[in-house]
Amino acid sequence: MDRKVRVRFAPSPTGPLHIGGVRTALYNYLFARQNGGDMILRIEDTDSNRFVPGAEDYINESLAWLGIGIDEGVREGGNYGPYKQSERRDIYREHVKMLLDAGKAYVAFDTPEELEAKRAEVPNFQYDASTRMSMRNSLSMPAEEVKRLIDAGEKYVVRFKIEPGRDVEVNDLLRGKVTINSSILDDKVLYKSADDLPTYHLANIVDDHLMEVSHVIRGEEWLPSAPLHVLLYEAFGWADTAPAFVHLPLLLKPDGKGKLSKRDGDRLGFPVFPLEWHPEGGEVSSGYRESGYLPEAVVNFLALLGWNPGDDSEIMSMDELIAKFDLKHCSKSGARFDYEKGRWFNHEYLQLKSDEDLAELFVPVLDGHGIDAASYPKEYIAKAVGLVKGRIYFVRDLWDHARFFFAEPVEYSAKDVKKRWSEDMPRIMGELIEVLNGIDDFSSKNSETIVLDWIASKGYHLGNVMNAFRLTVVGECKGPHMFDITELLGKEETVRRIRKGIDNIKPQA
């Protein structure tokens, strides 16, 4: 059957979107784009008890940051709206009535206390074909009594009447055919009169049908609901156009044991949310964006958690991911959340940025460290960045590796002083100043030749002299090629720092 690909991401606004949810959104998006289909964002807010203010905006902002485009949704509009379930009450009411009229659902009055009592009395109590006639519902009670209670405003729920003893087949594109017997299912609540809202199951099915969703791609945690959903499609007479299912593997803890949780992130120091989350009066949770990750790195990292391109490509842009994505290469087993790999992706994506772009990103970091970045030519910052970027995982790391281009050393590494600053070093550094002052072309290559010739002619120890030189200029014995540093700093500044080093560094016993 040729059917337009239409997929949906259907989060419930119950808190910050978890990184696993982001992956679900991403796979839906890749699949939609690859197939020239539509990507829907549907807000499933029928559980009023769990509604969290700000969560919907958070979802929108997260997807926008990552470049996961939405074709139809609350903000985007579309022909199948409203896209927020709390605005679709009439539709659900009408569909609940359809099931009731067809005898596929029934009204039940059992109060929470009555249900509790029943559970205490009957071991493993389940509301189903074997027990429903002993409960207070429209199947066990006379019709007039049911009407009287409803008219009197008694609270009720509508339950799905599951016929026992049937094999229900769920076809999952990833997992194949899963068969379960309907007798193990309970008569799920589909609607609650108390808040005039459907439950997740009914709303989800009705909307997938009305929005002409072709593929339901969602997390593995929803697999147990799938048989019920299959039966609901059938009850409505929609089995022929029911969407195909894909249940994505769980994201596992970094050690592979159990489901990834926020606590793992807190314990091991990585975010499990795309953006920082500020709950009202609660503790802030860190986000990938605020932790310095580039959105394209997060997308690439997430794409490979549960899918592989079938070859060994690792660095893939969104367009490449769209071209390569294939449900056949999704894995069934859980994907270990290797956050070190996430850092590696960020490093790689930073290397792909031009020095000029990285310099732009570095400006706020410099300002944050009290450096007036505007007082430096843009090319100066870009060159400094270019010399150290190979060592960074995050933009903020540029400060550690390039600070000396913007601030002279205020202290000198004790370890390096001890190792490199011998008694005769002040004198040798004084000679070095003479040599440097005599150089007209202060370019890296030229100064290197001249300084190395001088060291050789004097018979000095190359490593000792060069490291002492570096100590005065950088403050410690590491960093990029020494003469690249001095070229950028310029002769005057280089000489000034050596002089300061001579005055301030005290040889250590």
Task: Give contact residues for ligand GLU (rule: CB under 6 A).
Answer: 10-12, 44, 204, 216, 218, 222
C-beta closer to ligand GLU: residue 10 or 235 = 10
Q: How far is the CB of 338 from ligand GLU (least distance, A)?
A: 24
Q: How far is the CB of 3 from ligand GLU (least distance, A)?
A: 19
Return the active site residues: 262
Q: How far is the CB of 333 from ligand GLU (least distance, A)?
A: 20
Which of helix, strand or coil describes residue 108?
A: strand
Distance CA 60, CA 50 (A): 19
Which of helix, strand or coil describes residue 176?
A: strand
Say if CB 13 and CB 43 are below 8 A apart: yes
C-beta closer to ligand GLU: residue 50 or 155 = 50
C-beta closer to ligand GLU: residue 204 or 486 = 204
List, as own/partner pairs, every contact residues 445-453 make where C-beta atoms lie below 8 angstroms and the sequence separation is at least 24, other chains included. Answer: 445/483, 447/483, 447/486, 447/487, 448/482, 448/483, 451/483
Torsion region of 227: left, alpha or beta (phi above 0 gives left; psi -120 to 50 gives alpha): alpha
Verify cis geometry, omega within 30 degrees of 0, for the bond prior to 82: yes
Q: How far is the CB of 346 from ligand GLU (least distance, A)?
A: 27
C-beta closer to ligand GLU: residue 8 or 470 = 8
| Type of residue numbered 306 | G
Q: How far is the CB of 216 from ligand GLU (least distance, A)?
A: 6
Q: What is the 3-state secondary structure (H, E, C) of 79-94?
A: CCCCCEHHHCHHHHHH
C-beta closer to ligand GLU: residue 208 or 487 = 208
Q: How far is the CB of 387 from ligand GLU (least distance, A)?
A: 46
Residues of 285-318 as b/e, b for ≥16 C-beta within 10 angstroms?
bbbbbebbbbbbbbbbbbbbbbbebeeeeeebeb
Bridge partners, 248 (sequence order):
219
Helices 425-437, 491-504: crossing angle, 10 deg rounding: 170
C-beta closer to ligand GLU: residue 45 or 487 = 45
Residues of 363-376 as b/e, b for ≥16 C-beta within 10 angstroms?
bebbeeeebebeeb
E strands, 222-329, are: 244-248, 251-252
Distance CA 297, CA 318 (A): 10
> What dihedral angle (degrees, nearest 10) is formed by the CA atoms of 271, 277, 278, 280?
-120
**Length of the chain measured in residues:** 509
Cite the DSSP H helix spans in 355-408: 355-368, 378-388, 397-402
Which of helix, strand or coil describes residue 33?
A: helix
C-beta closer to ligand GLU: residue 215 or 420 = 215
C-beta closer to ligand GLU: residue 218 or 420 = 218
Q: How far is the CB of 35 from ligand GLU (least distance, A)?
A: 18
Q: How far is the CB of 397 from ligand GLU (least distance, A)?
A: 36
The residue to which tokens 């795309």 are assigned: 274
